[in-house]
Structure 1
Amino acid sequence: MRKRNAVRAAAAALAATMVLTACGGGGGNETTAAAGGDTGSTAAGGDAATSGSGEVGKTDITFAMGADIVTLDPAGQQDTTTSVIIKHVYSTLLDISDEGELVPDLAESYELVNDTDFVFKLREDAVWSDGTPVTANDVKFTFDRAKNMPKTKSNTSKVKEVVVDNEHQVTIKLTEPYAPFKSIVANSNLSIVQEAAVTAAGEAYGDADNAVGSGPFTVKEWVPNDHYTLEKNANYWGEEPITTSITCRVIPEGSARAIALETGEVDLVWNVDPTDCSNIEANSDVKLLSQPSSSIEYLGMNVTKEHFKDQKVRQAINYAIDKQALVDTIVEGRGTVANSYINNTIPGWTDEVEAYPYDPEKAKELMAEAGYPDGFSCQLWVNGDVRTRSAQMVQAQLAEIGITVDISTMEWGAFLDALNAGEHEMFILGWSNGTFDADGSTYQLFHSSNHGATGNRAFMTDATVDELIMKAAQENDDAQRMEYYKELQIYLHDLSPWCPFYYKNDNVGVRADLQGFKLHKGASHYLGNCHYAK
């Protein structure tokens, strides 16, 4: 679990089974090119050597990621890179354990008192990094603010009102029954913020010098596109971290990250590129940890643009791309072809949808039927080395059916801003569902109310899609919910706003003697117990 030792984790899990209803999930994050492109599986996952006995030695940890964070304001975050720092600096009402289960965090318990009202009882010992208490007023402020923020409004769209019952209890009233809500509150962009700090900073909140959290670490510094450093929060209310400081170095090139790990410049690489996995496996000084991820890598199409309004064009592109070749070449076999729009680790995924086969001749037929027998020219926007390599394969394969693709590679923040503006035609991106509810793989990405920054980068508007998403979200019978998601996946497969590529594995590289690190099922790994033996 993210913030507690084994004993406390067991107690929390027990409390969860007694107090919390069956967990689902909701919310998700875009993955960076490095994180999204990383796949791998030689080890079945597991811990780096855990701390058992002996004296603790080095506790200042440095790790590497492929891109920089975009903000220190939780409500401004919707990407996996930034969620790493948010999860270490802030706390959420509920959390997701290493095993993918819903567990207490700032809220020690909750109760669904009727179809629409959730009562959350807050911990009375939780304090901010400045030592002041976390109160129900901060929770109300967080959710009221999130309703008006582009990257959080979808997660709070069903929140009608937040009522402060007392200093340590809130009632969140929804506009309608919404089954995924209990897990949506665990999403990192709904981390609770301090009303006083945000109000004082105004629109500037999210800089290194004004971020106030209630998590196990505080922000010491942030040098954009270079590094950030976290320090142990002396006022943290939970189990004290073993790690005293965490520094993240931004190293965009995958091979440079791997070399930094092998030479000992960094203790951990969050996202090992597939091309570097075998080198790490062959080096006894380091270790590759790998597990199936909850993410999907895909080619998205902006259905509002001229060429991509036609469903036959989108289907043709699905037939024209050899997904298995992408798995074999780009991720070196460390992944599986995606058959659907939901990852196969998420409840609600169905195997009754078959991935489009590689069939260039069928693709040409559909292009001719759509009125493009000679093809057309278009733009493909990407970020990072891994997705640029994917884009080059897509470019070559689409050329076979007459589509000329011009590739533009952008820096991560600029890439997201460009997609938000909706000027793109095609793009390659990944989506990670860290809370394991199918709503987190569908609502933000395909509902017509979520165009742009909220998640629907295809800018798709379809009444049937909207209806199925909402039927599933409002259904409390789990079996019926799964039927709705199966129907939705079948329909999306035919509609083809994306060309799903593959379900990747998460690869993390660590120094062989690093202790205290454990893979999180949703790739929300906690670094607060990383250390070396003396």
Structure 2
Amino acid sequence: MQAHFVRKLISGVVLAAGFGMAAVAMPAQAATLRMAWSQDATGLDPHKQTAFSSIRLLELIYEPLVRLDGNLQIVPGVAESWQFSPDGKQLTFKLKAKGKFQNGAPVTSADVKASFQRILDQATGAVARANFLSIASIDTPDATTVVFNLSQPDVPLLTAMTSLNAAVVPASEIAAGTIGTKAIGSGPFKLDSWVPNSKEVLSANKDWAGGTIGVDGINISVLPDETAILASLRTGQTDFALLNDPLVATLVPKEPKLQLTRTPVLSYNVLQLNPSRKPMDQLAVRQAISCAIDRKDVMDTAALGEGKVTGPLTMPLYATDPSQLFCYKRDVAKAKKLMADAGFANGFSATVIAATGEPPTATAEAQVIQSQLAEIGIKLDIKVMELNVYVDTWLKGNFDMAVALNGGSADPYSMYNRYWTKTGNLQKVANYIDDTLDGLMQKGRAETDPAKRKAIFADFEKHIAEVSPWIWLYTAYGYTAEQKNVEGFVPTPTGSLFGLSKVSIK
């Protein structure tokens, strides 16, 4: 889940001017972006966080080796250059010589090695661990060179390294055991203070190797909901907001002082089934649920039609026409027959969990699904949880069904291997695997020919839609709303807020 999206921001500029008989000019005060969100971060450990609200905060503070830009191209992060060996079994990075952590220490190859050793240590509980299991050893020939020795060619490894969950952290903080209690990265902003569910104060990292930062800091306030954020934007108390509720976002263009940016995203709204629990352990029951769901109706009702019905693969390079997938056209008669074949002609009862605020549409989605499944005799009890409780419950796989917003990736393997491979570290969340899924993921991981990779993952998508461990619903949009004097933010399909490093206030 990750990664998947609800945060809102308050920001603004204070300008001082002298007035009076002599009209003495006063110097302008520092430009601080005032931001607000309604769902706060749930923790500070970049290797463990799955909640979008945590990722959106931490990606301002920490840096991975590489990043994805607005066109899903890999660009420098901590590293300035990288290269695979001809046989694909080594990946070498050259670090930026001027890279520094926010405590003033240089970013070295030793920090990179310690960070990935921590991610690979099962005791850490790193959420992206499965993406890096091909790393056999790490060499550090000098302070700015890191060589990853791989057990096999691993095409999607570089894309996996663009994630915040692969952030480089100081080796000294790992040794001290302070990762998660303090936030010390090499990113554009320092976390000066955090009062959970109240506010964060960030200041610009003047030593950031990524270039000039457009504001001196960011003050983030946690507001009760997105309607409160819109009100704050209207009154000029907020400069910039990342909105997730379509109902609120669609009101922004009506405000003459505000501007809205609307960007398709890779994250996906999904109904996750738990195939380890009866009767979802039966294929026919899972398929009946898939056939009973009208995905477009869920999107139209919960998200005002602001989105696109999707299959499992949401990245443009690999996405296929979802109408070609199993039961993407609602078929209640088929669903009832499948239920009867499984011995549940009279249905059954189950519970679906949803988080408050992430996404804002979660409860509405659950209600539409509840109504649709009632037509085939499934009685759903909706259990809405605070986000931190939901995340803990979700990570334990302790649910019958879950309405979720999960993060996407530019590559299918790095997006899904932690769920749908036998070594995936989120298998206890997915609770389903078969030889076909695992085999296709492994083939796609090693294949270097783009056309062959696309064919492999097309087969993966077709198979997973048919066995229906989850019911993929739709992708939505990312929205940013800002005052018209806020310039320079570039949105990305990942929903990243990293672009705030280039924002300025005119």
Deviation, structure 1 residue 140: 0.6
* More displaced 10-residue stretch of structure 1: 306-315 or 267-276: 267-276
Equivalents in 2 of 1:393, 1:225: separation in Å?
30
Q: Pick from 82, 85, 91 the counterpart of residue 118 of structure 1.
A: 91
Deviation, structure 1 residue 58: 6.2
Matched, 1:499 2:474: no
Equivalents in 2 of 1:382, 1:448: separation in Å?
27
Number of equivalenced pairs: 478
What per-residue deviation string (whole Å, max 9, x for no partner) do you get for residues 327-384 of structure 1?
Answer: 211111111112x1111x4322222733621222221111111110110100100012
Equivalents in 2 of 1:288, 1:531: separation in Å?
16
Contact 1:296 1:432 in 2 (8 A): yes
Equivalents in 2 of 1:118, 1:364: separation in Å?
52
User: Cα RMSD over matched residues?
Assistant: 2.0
Partner of 2:13: none
What per-residue deviation string (whole Å, max 9, x for no partner) do you get for residues 137-194 of structure 1?
Answer: 1111001111023213112222111111111111101121110011111111111100
2:95 partner amino acid: L
Matched residues, percent identical? Answer: 27
Deviation, structure 1 residue 299: 0.3
Contact 1:75 1:190 in 2 (8 A): yes
Gaps of 5+ in 2: 9-26
TM-score, normalised relative to structure 2 = 0.90
Deviation, structure 1 residue 31: 1.5
Partner of 2:147: 171
Equivalents in 1 of 2:379, 2:225: separation in Å?
28
Change (3 A) 1:153 1:413: same
Partner of 2:19: none
Partner of 1:303: 275
Q: Pick from 370, 387, 390 the counterpart of residue 365 of structure 2.
A: 390
Matched, 1:432 2:407: yes
Change (3 A) 1:302 1:404: same
Contact 1:59 1:530 in 2 (8 A): no
Identify the structure with bigger relative contact order (alpha carbons < 8 Å, sequence gap 6+): 1
Contact 1:336 1:504 in 2 (8 A): yes
Q: Pick from 173, 180, 196 the counterpart of residue 197 of structure 1.
A: 173
Contact 2:348 2:377 in 1 (8 A): yes
What per-residue deviation string (whole Å, max 9, x for no partner) do you get for residues 479-524 of structure 1?
Answer: 1111100000111111001111111111121122222222123211
Change (3 A) 1:315 1:252: farther
What per-residue deviation string (whole Å, max 9, x for no partner) do you get for residues 84-111 of structure 1?
Answer: 2222112221111222210122211112
Equivalents in 2 of 1:57, 1:282: separation in Å?
31
Gaps of 5+ in 1: 1-27, 37-54
Q: How does 1:7-406 map to 2 (within 5 A)?
A: 29-32=2-5, 34=6, 59-113=31-85, 114-148=87-121, 149-150=124-125, 151-200=127-176, 202=177, 204-207=178-181, 210-338=182-310, 340-343=311-314, 345-351=315-321, 353-354=324-325, 356-384=328-356, 385-406=360-381
Change (3 A) 1:244 1:457: same
TM-score, normalised relative to structure 1 = 0.86
What per-residue deviation string (whole Å, max 9, x for no partner) do you get for residues 263-319 of structure 1?
Answer: 223222212411112321111121211011112111000110011001111111112
* More displaced 10-residue stretch of structure 1: 320-329 or 386-395: 320-329
1:421 partner amino acid: K
Equivalents in 2 of 1:439, 1:57: separation in Å?
48
Partner of 1:407: 382
Q: Secondary structure at the match of 1:391?
A: helix
1:142 partner amino acid: S
Q: Secondary structure at the match of 1:243?
A: coil
2:321 partner amino acid: D
What per-residue deviation string (whole Å, max 9, x for no partner) do you get for residues 107-142 of structure 1?
Answer: 111121232111111121111112221111111100
Equivalents in 1 of 2:478, 2:368: separation in Å?
22
Matched, 1:478 2:454: no
Partner of 1:447: 421
What per-residue deviation string (whole Å, max 9, x for no partner) do you get for residues 34-78 of structure 1?
Answer: 469xxxxxxxxxxxxxxxxxx987621122223211222211223
Contact 1:255 1:273 in 2 (8 A): no
